[in-house]
Structure 1
Amino acid sequence: MELDDAYANGAYIDDAAAYPPRWASAASGFRAALGARAEIALPYGPAARQVLDLFHPETPPMGTAIFVHGGYWLKFDRSSWSHLARGLLARGWAVAMPSYDLCPAVPIATITRQIAQAVQYVARHSTGPLSIAGHSAGGHLSARMLDRALIPAEVAARFRTILPISPLSDLRPLRRTSMNADFRMTMADATAESPILMQNRHDARVAIWVGADERPAFLDQARWLAEAWDIPHVIAPGRHHFDVIDLLQDADSDLVDMLTAP
């Protein structure tokens, strides 16, 4: 369809097919190394995929970060990303990583509500500040957590940083891709789920992060959200859509600084 190429990431990344197995292998090894500090498949809702992994630092946590994975709401689960908790754990933060149902089994709006359930589960089972990062479709979902209709005020009051990474912030263009056969979005659906159009938002520190070498459509999506919400917008040099999240493994990276800063 008209915008299929605009939103095709792998076609423009060298050796793209090698990334998913590499992620899965790194994540599995990381979980194994954590041992008892990794709590696996904690249920946060009734659906089979409504489970999350919770990783604990070596000392009592200074806060809890939630990472929401991407995959165009069509692919992946929590098990491919565990290694991305490394930097936050080294800074003394716990990290939760939820799975969620996928399209076409459920619409995007249902996925959004599931992540809201996951955030509230983490809030009930933790103390201290909460930060939320999400990548790509997960960037959309992390931004949606500022919707006052989804997250209670007492939970949002604990938000430290919301950090959408390479987010999909305006879903209306995606109706002009072949993926909409699975999304089944009407214009009303896309409008309701687009962060750039959210008006009734909780107050929180928010920043956008995107790779300089990403597809123009993703650079646009990041800029649109930064402009709509008047928030900081970081364009990371030399980073594309698949490696822009790698800095979450580095405790000294700007990404980890943003999520843990007072």
Structure 2
Amino acid sequence: MDFASAADRAYANGAFIPGADGFVPKWQAQAAAFRGEARAELGLAYGAGARQGFDLFLPEATPRGLMVFLHGGYWMAFDRGDWSHLAAGAVARGWACAVPSYTLAPEARIADMTGEAAAAVRAAAARVPGPVVVTGHSAGGHLAARMACEGGPEVARVVPISPLADLRPLLETQMAATLRLDSTEAAAESPALLRPRAGVQAHVWVGGQERPAFLWQARVLSEEWACPWTVEAGRHHFEVVDGLTDPESALVRACLDGL
């Protein structure tokens, strides 16, 4: 496989996952099926932008609290509708789960997306009493971690899944041009270079079969934040979120237990 740079190779996921092309249609089908059966409030606005909306999935009884899932896609792809099924585990545990969209690059920069994620969390939390947990995958893992930092919404816990925690290596990738990422923003938006607010719990999650760069990113965040991290054996980047569909999974327990 040919890559423009070593950094592009390091952060390529699909090129190293057998059958990668089949994952997106599978996720979309699972998400649509879950939306068709779930108790949900769809298309709630948290801002005036076209992508500033969230879907809220609700348990049958009064929610025990709120989990928010922020999707990945290198800040350039996907929509909340692709990930509805990942609310299933939290809802089965009696929690509400909000799944927002946010404005993508190149229309928005990463700092803008951080602000939108915070607005989405605040809007969802205003509708659901109780503790707030924010999780997210890949670029969404970055945004989930940012919610724990200064200026973020009031949250009890963040569980970044395969997060991009130090953005500086991405300056050497081709995607940096689309992201309009520069050294100043890379430093300011890197959770590993920031600190979580006092009282916010954090647990970093990553798949054992992920690209080495993602294992490094997860380890760096856990070390800098002095928080636990879990390497889930046998999971690659496209499988590591699957545990969110299962109320008894270790990932759902890491998100919700003890709150």
- TM-score with structure 2 setting the length: 0.96
Give the C-alpha shift of residue 260 in structure 1: 1.4
From 178, 181, 184, the equivalent of 1:188 is 184
Alignment of 1:223 with 2:225, yes or no, is no
**Local SS of the residue matching 1:222:** helix
* Number of the residue aligned with 1:53: 55
Structure 1 distance, partners of 2:129, 2:207, is: 33
Give the C-alpha shift of residue 203 in structure 1: 2.5
From 154, 164, 168, the equivalent of 1:168 is 164
* Number of the residue aligned with 2:33: 29
CA RMSD of aligned residues (A): 1.0
* Number of the residue aligned with 1:66: 68
From 252, 257, 261, the equivalent of 2:253 is 257
Alignment of 1:40-119 (within 5 A): 40-119=42-121
Structure 2 distance, partners of 1:38, 1:202, is: 33
Kindly provide the amino acid, as one letter, of the partner of residue 35 in structure 2. Answer: R
Alignment of 1:201 with 2:205, yes or no, is no
* Number of the residue aligned with 1:134: 136
Alignment of 1:38 with 2:40, yes or no, is yes
Kindly indicate whether the alpha-carbon contact (under 8 Å) linking 1:50 and 1:98 is maintained by their aligned counterparts in 2.
Answer: yes
Structure 1 distance, partners of 2:54, 2:75, is: 16
**Local SS of the residue matching 1:169:** coil
* Number of the residue aligned with 2:151: 149
**Local SS of the residue matching 1:4:** helix
Structure 2 distance, partners of 1:260, 1:147, is: 20
* Number of the residue aligned with 2:12: 8
Per mean C-alpha deviation after superposition, the further-off stretch among 200-209 and 126-135 is: 200-209
Kindly indicate whether the alpha-carbon contact (under 8 Å) linking 1:146 and 1:202 is maintained by their aligned counterparts in 2.
Answer: no
Structure 1 distance, partners of 2:18, 2:60, is: 37
Give the C-alpha shift of residue 261 in structure 1: 1.2
Kindly indicate whether the alpha-carbon contact (under 8 Å) linking 1:147 and 1:202 is maintained by their aligned counterparts in 2.
Answer: no
Structure 1 distance, partners of 2:144, 2:22, is: 26
Kindly indicate whether the alpha-carbon contact (under 8 Å) linking 1:64 and 1:94 is maintained by their aligned counterparts in 2.
Answer: yes
Kindly provide the amino acid, as one letter, of the partner of residue 66 in structure 1. Answer: V
Kindly indicate whether the alpha-carbon contact (under 8 Å) linking 2:142 and 2:165 is maintained by their aligned counterparts in 1.
Answer: yes
Task: For structure 2, list consecutive stretches of 5 or more residues without a partner in the other structure.
Answer: none
Structure 2 distance, partners of 1:71, 1:173, is: 17
Pair 254,93 (structure 1): closer, same or farther in 2 beyond 3 Å: same
Give the C-alpha shift of residue 226 in structure 1: 0.5
**Local SS of the residue matching 2:41:** strand
Which aligned runs of 4 or more in structure 1 are off by greater than 6 angstroms?
none
Structure 2 distance, partners of 1:142, 1:103, is: 18
Kindly indicate whether the alpha-carbon contact (under 8 Å) linking 2:196 and 2:225 is maintained by their aligned counterparts in 1.
Answer: no
Give the C-alpha shift of residue 148 in structure 1: 2.0
Kindly indicate whether the alpha-carbon contact (under 8 Å) linking 2:96 and 2:128 is maintained by their aligned counterparts in 1.
Answer: no
Taking only the aligned residue pairs, the percentage that are identical comes to: 49
Structure 1 distance, partners of 2:96, 2:128, is: 9
Structure 2 distance, partners of 1:19, 1:259, is: 24
From 151, 162, 177, the equivalent of 2:173 is 177
Structure 2 distance, partners of 1:230, 1:212, is: 20
TM-superposition CA deviations, 1:92-117 (whole Å, max 9, x none): 00100000000001101000000000
Give the C-alpha shift of residue 202 in structure 1: 4.0
Count of residues paired in the alignment: 254
**Local SS of the residue matching 2:115:** helix
**Local SS of the residue matching 1:49:** coil
Pair 199,232 (structure 1): closer, same or farther in 2 beyond 3 Å: closer
